[in-house]
Amino acid sequence: MSKEIINQNTDIQQISEEQDYTLRSTDAVCINESHLHHKWYYNFKYMAVGVLFGIVFVKAEIISWFRIQEMFRFQSFHMYGVIGSAIMVGMISVWLIKKFNIKTIHGETIEFHDKVFNKGQIYGGLLFGLGWAITGACPGPLFAQIGTGATVIVITLLSALAGTWIYGYYRDKLPH
């Protein structure tokens, strides 16, 4: 009897985890696919990756407003080289992970999910493109720019948070 209740409970738990996953992966590429539960301080490994990433952002001037302007005016190959070679390396890495079924350091199978197309990728993409060329920054560089001491970019970041919140508020009314 008690075993049955426990089973029922885990069923409920699993359904809600699935629902939670569906919600979390709505309008997102970047998702935690792991089913493992770790202590919070395990997250410092992602911070370490972020630090390296931030250093590259600054040192290669990817967070420079001027470099973004040059990119959109075809005045420099730099940003195309950065994004293009990043995609090449990423593509080869994903292919290798799938081909050799490479596991995480915790032994978990690495999961990939296909994205479903919706019109938001067009409308939202265009709107983000407009913002990218104004601010000279996509979301990642905003964090790095603040790190380099451009404190006023905190306002741009807060405004981006407001934009995300407004999107969430009006999501059901927008064409998808």
36 binds another protein (CB under 8 A): yes
To 10 degrees, what angle do helices 44-59 and 139-147 make?
80
Q: Which is nearer to another protein, 15 or 134 (CB)?
A: 134
Check if the beta carbon of residue 34 is closer than 8 Å to that of residue 104: yes
12 binds another protein (CB under 8 A): no
48 binds another protein (CB under 8 A): yes
Footprint on residues 102-161 left by another protein (CB under 8 A): 102, 104-106, 108, 110-112, 114-118, 120-140, 142-153, 155-161
Q: Which is nearer to another protein, 3 or 170 (CB)?
A: 170
Residue 129, H or E segment: helix 120-135
**Residue type, position 15, single letter:** I
Q: Which is nearer to another protein, 1 or 53 (CB)?
A: 53
15 binds another protein (CB under 8 A): no
Q: Which is nearer to another protein, 6 or 88 (CB)?
A: 88
> In the set 77, 99, 100, 173, which binds another protein (CB under 8 A)?
77
169 binds another protein (CB under 8 A): yes
DSSP 8-state code for residue 24:
H
The secondary structure of 45-107 as a DSSP string is: HHHHHHHHHHHHHHHTTTT-HHHHHHHHTT--SHHHHHHHHHHHHHHHHHHHHHHTTPBPTTS
